[in-house]
Amino acid sequence: MPGTIFHVSAVFLVLSAFLASAVEMVEALTIVLAAGIARGWRSSLAGLAAATFALAVIVAALGPALTVVPLKDLRLVVGGLLLAFGLQWLRKAILRSAGLKALHDEDALFAEELAAARGAEHVERAGLDWYGFTLAFKGVLLEGLEVAFIVLTFGSTQGSIPLAAAGAAGAVVLVAGIGIAVRAPLARVPENTMKFAVGVMLTTFGIFWSAEGAGAHWPGDDASLPGVLVFVILISAAYVALLRNRRLVTA
Amino acid sequence: MRKFGRFWWDFVVGDDWVGAAGVVVAIGATAVLVAAHVAAWWLLPLAVVLVLYVTLRRAAA
């Protein structure tokens, strides 16, 4: 059923881009809110707009360039990068779930950013509070670069950058909408669970594409993707259980 | 230039170089097996189990 397989891949693609984007945008929102409250909304929103523009330029410039790379080479390089990147996310998520790393706390981060922003010196450039502008710009750009990377790599390798971009854009609109409505850090978003899900997705696609890029053939081709996903979930759960029981800790 | 390099190092390699190094070795080994006409799809999932074991053990130590 090639149609069904395509739909499964497309769902994974949109879901992965949506989740990764949502997680990063929650973090970016915290920074923009802190900059806005402490340094004024004009500078903070100008930083947000400038970073969004820079990210759009990066995606628009690199997107078409990636589509001319042969698919096998692209899958090898992108798969390898995604796997290395995904293993970082998964490692942190497993350590957090096992209680060996502090959970991500948006309220604490917000308080920290707010205190730093309030204590910084006021320097005006181009009619903007420079600290507020650069804080929002750097926060959104750095968080957004990970999303741009995921959109470009997932999209190009799966043959649909617009689909991945749509997933990411959906998350941006949702997080920004909720952020405007509540005007507070989104501490109640299950961020740690979402980070775990993103780590699993990145690792799954990384395994799948880098093996294909290296010339291996999966039994059942794309239909094996859900199997790889289940495998990654199971080993992650097993490592969380082992770490909770301290069975992985060196004596 | 140094900051740029640092950014990419953090982006791809992160807190523990074992993950990135393991990925490179596993992909290379897969390519070698494929060149020797061996079905090698199983190698990367196995490598992920091993790499995670090593990097988590290092983090938990």
Nearest residue on chain A to B33, alpha-carbon basis: A216
CB contact under 8 A, B56 and A239: yes
The alpha carbon of residue B5 is apart from the nearest alpha carbon of chain A, in Å, by 15
Is the minimum CB–CB distance between B57 and chain A shorter than 8 Å? yes
d(CA A236, CA B31): 26
Report the pLDDT value the prediction gives residue A251, as an integer from 0 to 100. Answer: 45
Nearest residue on chain B to A245, alpha-carbon basis: B60
Residue A109, judged by CB atoms within 10 A of its CB (0-12, 13-18, 19+), counts as middle
Percent composition of chain A: helix, strand, coil (DSSP 3-state, to 5) = 80, 0, 15
Report the pLDDT value the prediction gives residue A1, as an integer from 0 to 100. Answer: 45
Report the pLDDT value the prediction gives residue B46, as an integer from 0 to 100. Answer: 97
pTM for this model (two decimals): 0.78
d(CA A26, CA A185): 8
Closest among A38, A59, A80 to A166, alpha carbons compared: A59
Report the pLDDT value the prediction gives residue B29, as an integer from 0 to 100. Answer: 97
Best residue in A78, A81, A83 to probe B by mutation, most B CBs within 10 Å? A83
> Residue A219 belongs to what H/E stretch?
none
Report the pLDDT value the prediction gives residue A247, as an integer from 0 to 100. Answer: 66
Q: Which residue has the higher pLDDT, B31 or A74?
A: B31
Residue B12, judged by CB atoms within 10 A of its CB (0-12, 13-18, 19+), counts as middle
Ranges under pLDDT 70 in chain A: 1-8, 187, 247-251
Report the pLDDT value the prediction gives residue A249, as an integer from 0 to 100. Answer: 59
Tokens describing residue A41 = 């909304």
Tell whether ipTM is more than 0.85. yes
**DSSP letter at A186?**
-
